[in-house]
Structure 1
Amino acid sequence: DVKLTAVNDDQLFVFEDYLYQVLLLFSRDTHVQSCFSTSASGCEPARSFIKKKIGAEECSVIYPPSGIIPFYGFSMLVAPVCFVFEDPVHLYFIFRQFYMKYFFNLHHISASPNAIVGLCVLFESLLRQISPDLWFHLQEIQVQPLRIAFKWMMRAFSGYLASNQLLALWDRILAYDSLEILSLLAAAVFVLRKGNVLTVTSESAIEAIFSDISSIKVIPLLQFILGH
Structure 2
Amino acid sequence: TQKRSRAHTYMDVPDTALVKKLVKDALLKPRYRNEDPAAATEAVLQDHGLASRLSNMLYASRRASEEPQTVAMARALRGAGRTAATGAGPAAPTTISTRAGDVAELDIMRALQARWQSHVEAAVRRLCAESGGPLMRTTAAAVAPAPKSSRQRGLYEPSEMLQLVADAEHDNAMSSHTGLRGWGLVPFELATPSLGELADGFGELRPSVRQSGVDDELRGWSGEERQRMAASVLADGHVPLLLQFLRCGTPAGTRSALWRAALGVEIDQAALSYYGRLVAEIERVALVTDGLLERDAMAPWDEEEYFLFRERVATLLAAFVRDPWVRRHSAVPSVHVTGASPQTGRSYVFPPNGALPPRGLSAYAFPLAYCYSRPEEAYFMFRALWSRYWCRLHVLSARRETLLPLCRLFEMLVQEHHPALCLHLCRLGLHPTAVAWRWIQFAFAGTLPVEQVLMVWDRVIGFDSLELLPLLAVAIFLFRSHTLLAATSAEEAERMLANCSELRVVPLLQAFLYSPPSLIASTPVPK
Aligned equivalents of 1:11, 1:205: Cα separation in 2: 25
Counterpart of 2:342, as a letter, is: K
Any conservation in 2 of the 1:35–1:104 contact (CA below 8 Å)?
A: no
Aligned equivalents of 1:194, 1:12: Cα separation in 2: 30
Aligned-residue RMSD, C-alpha: 2.1
Residues 135-187 of structure 1 show CA distances to partners (whole Å, capped at 9, x for unaligned) of 23234445310001111111111111111111001101011111111101111
Aligned partner of residue 2 in structure 1, secondary structure: helix
1:210 Cα offset (Å):
1.4
Aligned equivalents of 1:218, 1:4: Cα separation in 2: 26
Q: Which of 353, 362, 366 is residue 79 of structure 1 equivalent to?
A: 366
Does the alignment pair 1:156 with 2:156?
no
Structure-1 residue corresponding to 2:383: 96
Aligned equivalents of 1:143, 1:87: Cα separation in 2: 42
Structure-1 residue corresponding to 2:216: none
1:65-214 maps to which residues of 2 (within 5 A)? 65-214=352-501
1:85 Cα offset (Å):
1.2
Any conservation in 2 of the 1:33–1:45 contact (CA below 8 Å)?
A: no
Aligned partner of residue 304 in structure 2, secondary structure: coil
Residues 97-147 of structure 1 show CA distances to partners (whole Å, capped at 9, x for unaligned) of 100100000011111221110111000111012222222323444531000
Any conservation in 1 of the 2:300–2:306 contact (CA below 8 Å)?
A: no
Aligned equivalents of 2:427, 2:311: Cα separation in 1: 48
Aligned equivalents of 1:49, 1:203: Cα separation in 2: 47
Aligned equivalents of 1:136, 1:154: Cα separation in 2: 24
Q: Which of 316, 335, 338 is residue 47 of structure 1 equivalent to?
A: 338
Counterpart of 2:311, as a letter, is: D
Structure-2 residue corresponding to 1:216: 503
1:203 Cα offset (Å):
1.9
Aligned equivalents of 1:203, 1:35: Cα separation in 2: 42
Structure-1 residue corresponding to 2:119: none
Any conservation in 2 of the 1:197–1:206 contact (CA below 8 Å)?
A: yes
Any conservation in 1 of the 2:334–2:394 contact (CA below 8 Å)?
A: no
Structure-1 residue corresponding to 2:321: 27
The alpha-carbon distance between structure 1 residues 44 and 74, as it changes in their structure 2 partners (threshold 3 A), is closer
Structure-1 residue corresponding to 2:298: 3
1:189 Cα offset (Å):
0.8
Counterpart of 1:2, as a letter, is: A
The alpha-carbon distance between structure 1 residues 44 and 23, as it changes in their structure 2 partners (threshold 3 A), is closer
The alpha-carbon distance between structure 1 residues 60 and 201, as it changes in their structure 2 partners (threshold 3 A), is farther
Counterpart of 1:31, as a letter, is: W
Aligned equivalents of 2:510, 2:339: Cα separation in 1: 47
Aligned equivalents of 1:64, 1:111: Cα separation in 2: 25
Counterpart of 2:382, as a letter, is: F
Structure-1 residue corresponding to 2:311: 17
After TM superposition, the structure 1 stretch with the greater mean CA deviation from structure 2, 138-147 or 194-203, is 138-147
> Which consecutive unaligned segments of at least 5 residues does structure 1 have?
none
Aligned equivalents of 2:455, 2:334: Cα separation in 1: 31
1:33 Cα offset (Å):
0.7
1:52 Cα offset (Å):
9.6
Any conservation in 2 of the 1:5–1:75 contact (CA below 8 Å)?
A: yes
1:68 Cα offset (Å):
1.4
Structure-1 residue corresponding to 2:104: none
Aligned partner of residue 453 in structure 2, secondary structure: helix
Aligned equivalents of 1:141, 1:14: Cα separation in 2: 39
Counterpart of 2:464, as a letter, is: D
1:44 Cα offset (Å):
5.2
List, as ranges, runs of 4+ consecutive aligned residues in structure 1 with deviation greater than 4 Å. none
1:83 Cα offset (Å):
0.9
Aligned partner of residue 372 in structure 2, secondary structure: coil
After TM superposition, the structure 1 stretch with the greater mean CA deviation from structure 2, 59-68 or 164-173, is 59-68
Aligned equivalents of 1:182, 1:172: Cα separation in 2: 10
Counterpart of 1:50, as a letter, is: S
Percent identical among aligned pairs is: 32
Structure-1 residue corresponding to 2:169: none
Structure-1 residue corresponding to 2:350: 63
Counterpart of 1:175, as a letter, is: G
When normalised by structure 1's length, the TM-score is 0.88
Any conservation in 2 of the 1:2–1:16 contact (CA below 8 Å)?
A: yes
Any conservation in 1 of the 2:439–2:447 contact (CA below 8 Å)?
A: yes
> Which consecutive unaligned segments of at least 5 residues does structure 2 have?
1-295, 517-527
After TM superposition, the structure 1 stretch with the greater mean CA deviation from structure 2, 61-70 or 101-110, is 61-70
Aligned equivalents of 1:111, 1:137: Cα separation in 2: 29
Counterpart of 1:46, as a letter, is: V
